[in-house]
């Protein structure tokens, strides 16, 4: 999930000097931010510091990040010019040298989620997205195809540059009914995952999809990354590796509550293939010491037979 960011003093200090886009686009800065949570919390994996919306800039759209969140301009999308994303490779080359015993995660947004951000100009607009989905179905699917093919290229670049694992963020797919999810999300996610099958582990993150976990299994993903609205015991019989799913807001609670909620997840998934993770991005108001406490506790627990 999103693990770098404003909850870290070291991040806020850098943000005083640089904009978010400068930090993402300058390999040395991005690599430094990527490493902040790794060094300060000792998490087992590093997720490259970038954003799911950045590759849209290499697809003919304008993308800005402001105090109010992201903005995306332009309607006509074109296939990605992956040459414009080479800074991502440079970030990864730097990170590969620094990270000897940690997993390096590359990522992209899922086609439906990126489409929602494009339609909503940076702020997903559920009703308008569905209006276009139903009323301009062919155009909608054509664009999903362009996005899918572009993200395949972008992920390939990340694999060539040293990613150990890939994560696909489908943060918006939870707004869809099961049948619409099957039509407008599933085929594109499946196509996106195929080139990486058996080559590198792929995690698919869904948000707000507890009702259709069974169909989500059809994506072909190796790892199913789930949000906190799902009771993780309902995933015990999945044939996927499950990643998740502590509510990021639990880190705002006292340590005994953090322990109770984390232990529930670990006990439930004992003997199962499970990657402990938050169920969403870490909140900016999180106390770093509590995040660190959680990481230490999970590591301690893993040592127990």
Which of 30, 41, 49, 181 is the binder for ligand CP3 (CB under 6 A)?
A: 49
107 lines the binding site for ligand CP3 (CB under 6 A):
yes
Half-sphere exposure of 302 (CA within 13 A, CB side): 11
Cβ proximity to ligand CP3: between 117 and 140 the closer is: 117
Is residue 18 within the footprint of ligand CP3 (CB under 6 A)?
A: no
Nearer of residues 225 and 235 to ligand CP3, judged by Cβ: 225
Per-residue mark of binding to ligand CP3, 197-216 (x: CB under 6 A) = --------------------
Per-residue CA distances from 142 to 75, 156, 229, 254 (Å): 13, 21, 32, 49
Residues 6+ apart with CB under 8 A from 299: 42
Contact between 273 and ligand CP3 (CB under 6 A)? Answer: no
CB distance 206 to 224 below 8 Å: yes
Stretch in the footprint of ligand CP3 (CB under 6 A) among 47-55, 138-146, 262-270, 294-302: 47-55
- Of 4 and 242, nearer to ligand CP3 (C-beta) is 4
If the CB atoms of residues 171 and 243 are measured against ligand CP3, the closer one turns out to be 171
In the region spanning residues 159 to 188, those forming contacts with ligand CP3, defined by CB under 6 A, are 169, 171
Min dist. Cβ of residue 132 to ligand CP3 (A): 19
Which residue of 10, 14, 15, 25 would you call a contact of ligand CP3, by CB under 6 A? 15
| Residue 53 sits in the site that holds ligand CP3 (CB under 6 A) | yes
Instruction: Show the tokens assigned to 258.
Output: 């953090």
In sequence order, the 6+-apart residues with CB closer than 8 A to the CB of 45 are 102, 103, 104, 105, 165
Could you tell me which of 227, 188, 223, 221 has the C-alpha nearest to residue 207? 227
Nearest residue (CB) to ligand CP3, 171 versus 277:
171
Give the span between the Cα atoms of 171 and 205, in whole angstroms: 7
Q: Is 50 in the site for ligand CP3 (CB under 6 A)?
A: yes
Instruction: Say how far apart CA 232 and CA 47 lie, in whole Å.
Output: 23
216 CB-near residues (< 8 Å, 6+ apart)? 204, 206, 209, 224
Which of 40, 44, 51, 125 binds ligand CP3 (CB under 6 A)? It is 51
From the number of C-beta atoms within 10 Å of its C-beta (0-12, 13-18, 19+), residue 170 rates as: buried
Which of the ranges 51-59, 73-81, 175-183, 289-297 carries the binding residues for ligand CP3, by CB under 6 A? 51-59
End-to-end CA distance of the chain: 28
Binding site for ligand CP3 (CB under 6 A): 2-6, 15, 20, 47, 49-53, 65, 69-70, 107, 169, 171, 281
């Amino acid at each position: 999930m999103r693990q770098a960011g404003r909850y870290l003093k070291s991040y806020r200090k850098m943000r005083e000097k640089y904009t978010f886009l400068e930090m993402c686009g300058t390999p040395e800065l991005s690599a430094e931010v990527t490493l902040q949570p790794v060094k300060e919390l000792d998490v087992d994996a590093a997720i490259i510091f970038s954003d799911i919306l950045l590759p849209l800039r290499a697809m003919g759209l304008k993308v800005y990040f402001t105090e109010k969140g992201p903005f995306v301009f332009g309607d006509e999308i074109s296939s990605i010019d992956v040459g414009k994303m080479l800074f991502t490779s440079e970030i990864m080359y730097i990170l590969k040298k620094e990270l000897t015993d940690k997993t390096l995660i590359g990522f992209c947004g899922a086609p439906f989620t990126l489409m929602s951000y494009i339609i909503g100009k940076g702020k997903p607009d559920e009703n308008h997205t569905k209006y276009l989905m139903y009323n301009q179905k062919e155009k909608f699917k054509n664009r999903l195809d362009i996005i899918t093919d572009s993200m395949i290229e972008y992920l390939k670049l990340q694999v060539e540059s040293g990613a150990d694992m890939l994560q696909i963020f489908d943060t918006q797919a939870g707004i869809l009914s099961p049948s619409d999810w099957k039509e407008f999300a599933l085929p594109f996610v499946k196509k996106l995952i195929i080139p990486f099958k058996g080559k590198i582990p792929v995690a698919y993150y869904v948000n707000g999809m507890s009702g259709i976990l069974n169909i989500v299994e059809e994506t072909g993903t190796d790892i199913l990354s789930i949000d906190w609205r799902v009771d993780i015991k309902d995933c015990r019989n999945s044939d996927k590796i499950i990643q998740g799913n502590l509510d990021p807001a639990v880190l705002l609670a006292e340590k005994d509550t953090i322990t109770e909620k984390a232990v529930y997840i670990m006990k439930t998934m004992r003997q199962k293939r499970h990657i402990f993770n938050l169920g969403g991005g870490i909140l900016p108001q999180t106390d770093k010491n509590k995040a660190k406490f959680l990481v230490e506790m999970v590591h301690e627990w893993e040592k127990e037979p």
